[in-house]
């Protein structure tokens, strides 16, 4: 049998993510292939950059945590096809999370209506959930 954690422990781990990354981080969508890990340099072209709200995630509950507030880029940086995303600290220097982005139903950690974006386009994320599962 694998390690089991209480919901309280799972919630605490999830809440530590927001505390560690800090207030008002950046969510950046890039073209190309996702780097091997967060320590690797960005690849591709920055397509959209969102300054997330100061309190950007709701308190964890039931072993999951969802976005809080409005996650939006009023004007996309460049035209292209999104390949992956990164959440960086508010200065944009340290990557703390990264994942795949796909069109709805594609299985990415973030799903969007279309992964194609046009420079100047408004772009909004309507749902994002982190889950700490028990094996």
pLDDT tens for residues 79-95?
999 999 999 999 999 99
Residue 15, token pair as written in the block: 């809440």
Per-residue pLDDT of 20-57, as tens digits, reads 999 999 999 999 999 999 999 999 999 999 999 999 99
Q: How far apart are CA 57 and CA 34, in angstroms?
A: 23
Question: In total, how many domains does the chain have?
Answer: 1
pTM for this predicted structure: 0.92
Q: Is residue 115 part of a domain?
A: yes
Q: For 57, which DSSP code?
A: B
User: What pLDDT does 106 receive?
Assistant: 86
Q: Is residue 101 part of a domain?
A: yes
Q: Is residue 37 part of a domain?
A: yes
Higher-confidence position of 7 and 127:
7
Q: Is residue 2 part of a domain?
A: no
Q: Is residue 64 part of a domain?
A: yes
Domain, as residue range, for 103: 7-131
């Amino acid at each position: 049998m694998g390690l089991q954690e209480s919901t309280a422990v799972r919630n605490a781990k999830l809440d530590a993510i927001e505390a560690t990354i800090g207030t008002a981080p950046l969510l950046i969508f890039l073209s190309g292939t996702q780097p091997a890990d967060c320590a690797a340099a960005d690849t591709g072209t920055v397509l959209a950059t969102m300054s997330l709200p100061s309190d950007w995630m709701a308190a964890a509950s039931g072993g999951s945590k969802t976005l809080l507030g409005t996650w939006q880029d009023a004007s996309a940086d460049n035209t292209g096809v999104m390949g992956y995303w990164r959440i960086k600290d508010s200065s944009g220097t340290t990557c703390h999370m990264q994942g795949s982005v796909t069109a709805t139903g594609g299985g990415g950690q973030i799903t969007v209506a279309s992964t194609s974006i046009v420079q100047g386009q408004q772009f909004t994320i309507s749902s994002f959930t982190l889950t700490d599962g028990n094996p």
